[in-house]
Amino acid sequence: MTHAVSRLRTARLARAVKPFRARGGPSERCPGCRVMHSHCLCALRPDVATRAGMCLLMADIEPLKPSNTGWLIADVVTDTFAFGWARTSVDPALLLLLADPQWQPYVVFPGEFVSPERMVTALLPDAATDGQPAKRPLFVLLDATWSEAGKMFRKSPYLNQFPVLSLHPEQISNYRLRRSSRTDHFCTSEVGALCLALAGEPHAAEVLDAYLEVFTHHYLQAKNQQPLDREDAAHVRLRDLGLVKQAAG
């Protein structure tokens, strides 16, 4: 199975000047989930319908990182779009997506860096206009390190016309695959789950949250050469939330 992030990764690899080498080596990783074959979780991919869409603007190397969690969003949310970010150019397909009348884009970024008139903490009124269906929320996530995301936000003028959604979660991040000195910084998948909850899709949000837990377990167990526990709380939670779809190869 391929999705937007997988296709972006393939395109990024195709233009790489030198091979990207993740720990463990590419030959040992499943291309469908980026975890070592012995700990593959492709068969556990959730199947969830959502009205909301996700637009991932990814820093140059993010699609290549096995620990990237934007990939998990694309696994779960069918209408996920992914684009590489560059300071001097913009993908025309991204501009077309942002201008598509079916979508209401929201740039997800901390409100402390945004002028008050542009910031929102909830979705805009969901009402049909001129006989047209109500717009679907499209969450624009800056998938990068914190410093890279700040640069992307400041240097993407085509995003300036859209409201900035500032999230204020009560919980702290549970992400364990990369180090951060701040507990108020969330990984991309966690942000996606928060957005789904805000959009009135709590089941999809919980599925994505549970899927991140399962992915983390598989990833760390493979990294530490430890066996999987398929009956731990994370796996049981994901199974209890609904059906999973089998990988298509």
What was the pLDDT predicted at 225? 92
Q: What is the pLDDT of residues 20-39, one digit of tens each?
A: 555 545 558 999 999 999 99
Q: What is the DSSP string of 11-43?
A: HHHHT-SS----TT-GGGB-TTTSSBGGG--GG
Per-residue pLDDT band for 247 (boundaries 50, 70, 90) equals very low
Q: What is the pLDDT of residues 136-192, one digit of tens each?
A: 999 999 999 988 999 999 999 999 999 999 987 665 445 555 554 444 568 999 999
Question: 105: helix, coil or strand?
Answer: strand
pLDDT at 117 over 80: yes
Q: At 48, phi and psi to the nearest 5?
A: -130, 135
Question: 249: helix, coil or strand?
Answer: coil
pTM: 0.88
What was the pLDDT predicted at 21? 57
For residues 211 and 182, the model is more confident at 211
